[in-house]
A and B are shown apart, each in its own frame.
Chain A
Amino acid sequence: MKILLIEDDPTIQRALSKLMEKRGATVVKESSGKAAIELILQNNYDKIICDLMLQDIHGFDILEEAKQKYSSGQIKKMFIIITAYSSTQVLDKAASYGCQLFAKPFDDLPKVLDIFVKKL
């Protein structure tokens, strides 16, 4: 299970990757949105967990770029959005991609982690 974690908050990035690794996943960490796009286009991941408010670009921009490589059906399954800005607009946009979205802080951490590492 190879997971790409795009998250620019260092404590969340480190803690989440450790927790997922504990559940047996291989985690690649990235905090830059642009670098993440390169990684997605050049490598293959089973799951991509993506924060929305990044320092350089917006998480939805990454999803758009991923369309070069993946069908919208694949994007819907692969991508999981995590965000602290869960406004209605954000929820609507996420729904348009059909991805799962979890608002930070997660209400039920173990359950969310299970979903992260669950095989497709």
Chain B
Amino acid sequence: MENKSSSRTQKTKTGYLVHIANELIQKRIFTIPKVYLQNPSEEYSSEYILRLNNNRLLLTKTSDSQMYYLLNLAANQENFDFILSFLKEDDFKIKKVSDKNLSLKKQNKSFVRRLLTHIKKRGPSPQLNEVLSLTNENREVQYLYSNFDTIDHLPELILSTDQFKTFNACQFLVHEKGNLYCDSYLSKNGIDKKKSTVQVESFNSINSIIKKSKSKQFNQTQILKDDIEILGTFLAKNFDFKNHSIILIISRNDFLPLTKEEKVAFDEYCLKLCPLLSYILERAQIAKKSQSINLALLNYTDPIAILTSKDQILFQNEVFTEEHFYDYLSGNGKFTTFKISREHTLVTHVSDNAKITTDISHFQRISLLGELLNTLRHELSNPLFGLKLSSDLLASESDDLEIKETLNDISSSADRCQTIIKNFTYLYSDEEVKDLVNISKLINETYILTKSESRQIKKNVEFIDFSDEDYLLTINPTWLSQIIFNLVINSSQAIKTLTDDLKSHEISIIVTKNEKFISFAISDSGPGIRKEIQEKLFEPFYTTKSNGTGLGLSISRNLAKKLGGKLSYVHAKDAGALFQLDVPYNKESSP
């Protein structure tokens, strides 16, 4: 590569001979004063480039190959300062390498490779890192940087540098603050790569010995830890970062004392290493974070995908199928979209999942509450039964009328407690049972259950077109009761937002028997429901209450569906809300 470009430059003899000090080139190549040019009429611009040819410096019009020739030359001489100043120049061509210019890309890549071989040979240096970050050759740089996402390769790289050639063991101990363990990275003779875990206690004791030491030179008589896998005399340095503490140990695996020069070189190297370590730790943390985000998205229960502006899939999670993708493209099914950036859109499939989510939440809530109530019921049954038995017994033995009455009151209170808890258990059991129930009784029992919210508010029940007085219906009483319960609670809470004068308000349920359905019209004299909210009423997790779950109505609608009926919001002409629940009834089984 080098020879090729050099031969090419010899063909183009458009160079100007300039007299310029070597230091100047290294400082800033593009600020050469005009006076140094042999032909001052030619305006100086950054299109010109200086290069060394047969011990003569030439200023030539820039061609890309020449530019790389110069860069490669500097890289060979390990003159990174020079390259840095070169790359930092604003209109430097390398930043503008477009995908179309293949030959330029190729050159850029080869230049970066050259830098890479340097890193491999000399070990990492922050300066070199900076150079690489400016070369704009993403894939190559990423490849290089991937070596620096972790400390894994560092010990090996350090041992491979010229200045530490005589050393043959290098160990890093990395402690993330707050963890009980720290990681150890070891390289012996540049071959063995070993990653292990070290207890934080031994890390701390080693760390404090190093901190206290002035010479930073140790041997195993000072640190007798199994965790240090290095023999003999060694040099050590501790680094303190925001979230990490790091110990670097380097040794020749013998007991000869280290020279002053070696210690100085080590200190200098540590100084240079510091920003690189900080960089690696930062990268590692970012990598960890993005890995978590990636995993979370991948395992998210709803189908999600990220699409490009050309509708290509950039990312899709486990449950996002090809079908979803084609549904989205053809406009079938329900999707929500969110523009992440100009190019990328997050697509989430929603239609069925909203229902599943409610079902799951509902099921979880019901089973948890059911379990809780069941335990409560059994735990309370015993003492309540004791209360009842004793008060009955004492009442039968007492001759004092007042005492007798009080004891009877206690007994009936115990009975009532028992009934309340029993009703709650039935309400929250999710068993599919159908019973012949008296609707009037069920509504009144449900009203009692809502007492905590609906106290003082008038509550009515009215029956229309029922031929009998029994109001019988074969239905799952738990589910029916729960729907009514939710609606009455909602109505009560809505009324409370309106006024404190609850007595002037009412909730009424009108039950009408039709040909196929029994309709429950549940209305209140509350503030009603605003139009913009009406559309979202039954959406799960949609709530206007500060401490609402947004599940009440969506659960109710699901329950209505399970009952073979439907629940809908009817726009009421007067103020207040009106919901209608229609449930089918079988004429033969319900009289």
A85 to chain B: which residues have CB within 8 Å?
Answer: 378
Task: Check: A109 CB closer than 8 A to any chain B CB.
Answer: yes
B388 to chain A: which residues have CB within 8 Å?
Answer: 105
B397 nearest CB across to chain A (Å): 9
- Of the stretches A12-20, A37-45, A63-71, the one at the interface is A12-20
Provide the A1-34 mask, 1 if CB < 8 A to any CB of B, else 0: 0000000011110111011000000000000000
- Beta-carbon contact of B392 and A105 below 8 Å: no
Provide the B415-426 mask, 1 if CB < 8 A to any CB of A, else 0: 000100000000
Instruction: List the A residue with the shortest CB-CB distance to B377.
Output: A84
Task: Check: B384 CB closer than 8 A to any chain A CB.
Answer: yes
B384 to chain A: which residues have CB within 8 Å?
Answer: 105
Take A84-B381, A105-B381, A105-B418 as given contacts and tell me if A11 and B392 are in contact as well, using a CB distance cutoff of 8 Å: no
B589 to chain A: which residues have CB within 8 Å?
Answer: none
Selected contact of A12 from candidates B378, B379, B389, B418, CB within 8 Å: B389
Task: Check: B385 CB closer than 8 A to any chain A CB.
Answer: yes
Question: In whole angstroms, how far apart are the Cα atoms of A102 and B277 in the complex?
Answer: 74
- Beta-carbon contact of B378 and A16 below 8 Å: no
Provide the A41-67 mask, 1 if CB < 8 A to any CB of B, else 0: 000000000000100000000000000
- Beta-carbon contact of A11 and B378 below 8 Å: no
Query: Would you call the interface of chain A mostly helix, strand, loop, or mixed?
Result: helix
- Beta-carbon contact of B385 and A105 below 8 Å: yes
- Beta-carbon contact of B378 and A15 below 8 Å: no
Task: Check: B393 CB closer than 8 A to any chain A CB.
Answer: yes
- Beta-carbon contact of A14 and B382 below 8 Å: no
- Beta-carbon contact of A12 and B393 below 8 Å: no
Selected contact of B387 from candidates A11, A53, A84, CB within 8 Å: A11
Task: Check: A104 CB closer than 8 A to any chain B CB.
Answer: yes
Q: How many residues of chain A get a CB closer than 8 Å to chain B's CBs?
A: 16
Selected contact of B382 from candidates A9, A15, A16, A18, CB within 8 Å: A9
Question: In whole angstroms, how far apart are the Cα atoms of A18 and B391 in the complex?
Answer: 12
A82 nearest CB across to chain B (Å): 9
- Beta-carbon contact of A19 and B378 below 8 Å: no
B333 to chain A: which residues have CB within 8 Å?
Answer: none
Q: How many residues of chain B get a CB closer than 8 Å to chain A's CBs?
A: 15
- Beta-carbon contact of B386 and A10 below 8 Å: yes
Question: In whole angstroms, how far apart are the Cα atoms of A10 and B390 in the complex?
Answer: 10
Query: Would you call the interface of chain B mostly helix, strand, loop, or mixed?
Result: helix
A81 nearest CB across to chain B (Å): 14
Selected contact of A18 from candidates B381, B385, B386, B393, CB within 8 Å: B393
Instruction: List the A residue with the shortest CB-CB distance to B388.
Output: A105
- Beta-carbon contact of A15 and B389 below 8 Å: yes
A77 nearest CB across to chain B (Å): 25
A106 to chain B: which residues have CB within 8 Å?
Answer: 385
Question: In whole angstroms, how far apart are the Cα atoms of A19 and B382 in the complex?
Answer: 17
Question: In whole angstroms, how far apart are the Cα atoms of A54 and B469 in the complex?
Answer: 47
Selected contact of A15 from candidates B379, B383, B393, B418, CB within 8 Å: B393
Instruction: List the B residue with the shortest CB-CB distance to A14.
Output: B390
A15 to chain B: which residues have CB within 8 Å?
Answer: 386, 389-390, 392-393
B386 to chain A: which residues have CB within 8 Å?
Answer: 9-12, 15
Question: In whole angstroms, how far apart are the Cα atoms of A105 and B419 in the complex?
Answer: 11
- Beta-carbon contact of B382 and A12 below 8 Å: yes
- Beta-carbon contact of A16 and B381 below 8 Å: no
Question: In whole angstroms, how far apart are the Cα atoms of A12 and B386 in the complex?
Answer: 4
A18 to chain B: which residues have CB within 8 Å?
Answer: 393
Q: List 29 A-B contacts (CB under 8 A).
A: A9-B382, A9-B385, A9-B386, A11-B383, A11-B387, A11-B389, A11-B390, A12-B382, A12-B386, A12-B389, A14-B390, A15-B390, A15-B392, A15-B393, A16-B389, A19-B389, A53-B382, A84-B378, A84-B379, A84-B381, A84-B382, A85-B378, A104-B381, A104-B382, A105-B381, A105-B384, A105-B388, A106-B385, A109-B389
- Which 5 residue pairs across A and B have the least CB separation, nearest first? A11-B386, A15-B389, A84-B381, A105-B385, A12-B386
